[in-house]
Amino acid sequence: MDRSELKKCRRVVVKVGTSTITHSNGKINIQRMDRLCRALADLHNRGTDVLLVSSGAVGAGMGRLGYAEKPSSLPVKQALAAVGQGLLMQMYEKLFSEYGCTTAQILLTRAGFNDRSRYLNLCNTMHALADMNVIPVINENDTIAVDELKFGDNDTLSALVACAAGADLLIILSDIDGLYDADPRVHKDAKLIHEVRTVSQSIRDNSGSKGSSMSSGGMYTKITAADVVLPAGIPLVIASGAAENVLYRILDGEVLGTLFVPPMEHRHARKQWIAANRPFESVTIDAGAVKALTEQGGSLLAKGITAVNGEFEAGRLLAVLAPDGREIARGLTNFNSRDLKKIMGRRSDEFEALLGVKDFDEAIHRDNLTVL
């Protein structure tokens, strides 16, 4: 694809970072928020479904309560988010209503994506809001999220939202112009990369920069977002939120920021959901099973499993680990952990004698398995 095809996008997820909508002291940048809402409302009026993923709750809470620096304490950050989220949504509601748009607030946690039925319910809600011509304003539910269930940054959240909403494009607005070949804050001769078709290892190595003192992300988290949306066939543009008319210019096909181009072939939505979510339990497999999954596209058979890690029920999303501990795949298990421990290393014709019943031949069927 090329930039001219962005004009055809009919459903767009826009993510704004804390630094884009707040001043350096953490207080809300009203002028920039007004420009953002005006542009989104105008795009919405011309027939584009827009979903806004907005950071800034903690920053807004810091500004209201007089914090100069982001605290390290999780309870304090959650309390600041509780104060700031109300301020943030109040401002969005006020600005969007001035342009004739209705908004909805959606606060999400990782659990809403990790559970398949909850994920489908979220997808249905987003589609229903689009049918009602409502603009969702989405953020992580920082007030209740715990470390092991946090997204960690809204770049990742926006990518997952784009997949759930069936978006045609994800735009991440940041305090940097796009992806550079080196950190421009350190290397003055760094060059902006306008288009990425393959996320190479050198790009990953150069993406370790952190965001501003108010934000939780940096370029690394944006590369992670690309890893989520590109296999789903969704292009990603990273651009500066301070650029004049940035959304119009991107959707009009102007070479602005960095465009990440998805591959011609992409995963089915179910397999994309599997790849995008983080398992908490796992199985370890032998070298033969690794080869069957990665080179032959096969299902995971119990015979190739050498260890079952954690307690879980059938249907749970599991990480599949190579003998050296690398995660090579993810999939939905046909068996609970108790039964899987009984049949690991055994052939399928032994299942009935071991379990009393044989419902499946595979531990994880290839249709429910994604190789990473």
| Token duo for residue 275 | 């790849």
Output the known binding site: 15, 55, 142, 154, 174-175, 216-222
Provide φ and ψ at 366, rounded to 5°: -60, -25
For the annotated binding site for substrate, the residues are 55, 142, 154
Q: Nearest-5° angle of CA 306, CA 312, CA 318?
A: 60
Q: CA torsion sign, 324 to 322 to 289 to 282?
A: positive
Alpha carbon distance 106, 87 (integer Å): 15
CB 60 within 8 A of CB 26: yes
Q: Which residues contact 172 (CB under 8 A, 6 or more apart)?
A: 15, 17, 155, 158, 222, 225, 236, 237, 238, 239
295 vs 334: CA distance, rounded Å: 22
Point out the annotated binding site for ATP. Answer: 15, 174-175, 216-222
